[in-house]
Amino acid sequence: MSKLRVISSIKPFGRGSIFRELDLDKIVEVAEETKQSDLHFRSSLLTLLLPALIIAIGYGGAWAWLYLNDQSQTALARLCMFVLVLGVPLLIAYNVLKFATLGIRLFDDHLIVHKGFPARDPMEIGYQFIKNVELEYGWFGQFTGVASMHIYPKAGKAITVSGLRFPKDALHAVQERCVN
């Protein structure tokens, strides 16, 4: 019974108390304001990982067929195992990095485009410098609902962000903010 009293008398250690003790309230407020003031459109992880899944199923099925037919020591079986052990994990890692770095952030006066891995630096474009924005659906995108967004600046080459999830929402959000 005494253990129950001790446990019930412990006050919850919430986020507010630790931030007040460390004087981090201002940092949290700025982060929350920034989070509320912009829109962020990202890629679809499912559509990025789907090719790796298809390759894993194909090579795994081929290796299983070779194994069941006592041909697991052939060069073809070794190739299948090589792709399963090295190729598929590398492809998954690449696509996870691309997912983490691909997207469009919309602010009041500009947008920031992250083209995805291996592109390093995000590109910042003011809405007044955008001439046109278009969507392009590939055959795979028609099934999954992802598209590439092409941003045409008034000067320079087009900027393409491929694999955006909810592309129509992103297109409308950018078009609303553009000054023509």
pLDDT in tens, the chain (180 residues): 433 333 333 344 444 444 455 454 444 454 444 444 466 788 888 888 888 999 999 999 999 999 999 998 999 999 999 999 999 999 999 988 888 888 888 888 888 888 878 877 888 888 888 888 898 888 888 888 888 889 888 888 888 888 888 888 888 888 888 765
* Whole-Å CA distances, 47 to 17, 43, 97: 41, 8, 14
Residue position matching structure tokens 């446990």: 7
**Residue 61, both tokens:** 């099925």
Q: Report the side by side order of strands in the sheet with 123-126.
A: 39-42, 102-106, 110-115, 123-126
Q: What are phi and psi of 71, to 5 degrees?
A: -125, 35
Strand partners, 102: 115
Structure pTM? 0.66
**Calpha distance 73→68 (Å, rounded):** 12
**Residue 74, both tokens:** 């052939």
Residue spans in the chain of domains classed CATH 2.30.29: 104-177
Contacts of 98 (CB under 8 A, 6+ apart): 43, 48, 116, 117, 163
**Residue 130, both tokens:** 């955008």
**Calpha distance 98→90 (Å, rounded):** 12
Handedness of CA 133, 134, 135, 139 (dihedral sign): negative
Spelled out in words, what is the top-level CATH class assigned to the domain 104-177?
mainly beta
